[in-house]
Amino acid sequence: MSKREAATENQINDALNDLPGWSLVDGKLQKTYKFNSFAAALGWMVSAGVEADKMNHHPEWSNVYNRVTVTLVTHDLGNVVSTLDLTLAKKMEALA
């Protein structure tokens, strides 16, 4: 599941079934997380960031106060959703 290759439509749809709150927006995987506090949001970014860096696959994400919006896409495959994006989204869910 974590090779760097484009995900099929079926793989994406299957994954989205297990990824509450995630959706495809302009061909990218996206979710806005809302935490109880800025402290909780920043701590989650650190946990997720450690995992992302270990995959050498980094999110585009923005934060204001207790919200974090994450956008996942694989640039070096031509801005498609890849199996790496699906894996990272699942890790992010597990840590949230």
Q: Which is nearer to a second copy, 11 or 44 (CB)?
A: 44
Q: Which residues have CB under 8 Å from 14's CB, separation 6+?
A: none
Q: How far is the CB of 28 from a second copy (least distance, A)?
A: 12
Name which position in 52, 81, 86, 88 contacts a second copy (CB under 8 A).
52
Q: How far is the C-alpha of 19 from the C-alpha of 85, rounded, in Å?
A: 12
Q: How far is the C-alpha of 74 from the C-alpha of 1, rounded, in Å?
A: 14
Q: Which of 84, 87, 91, 71 is nearest to 25 (CA)?
A: 71
Contact between 43 and a second copy per CB under 8 A:
yes
Name which position in 2, 8, 34, 65 contacts a second copy (CB under 8 A).
65
Contact between 54 and a second copy per CB under 8 A:
yes
Q: Which is nearer to a second copy, 21 or 49 (CB)?
A: 49
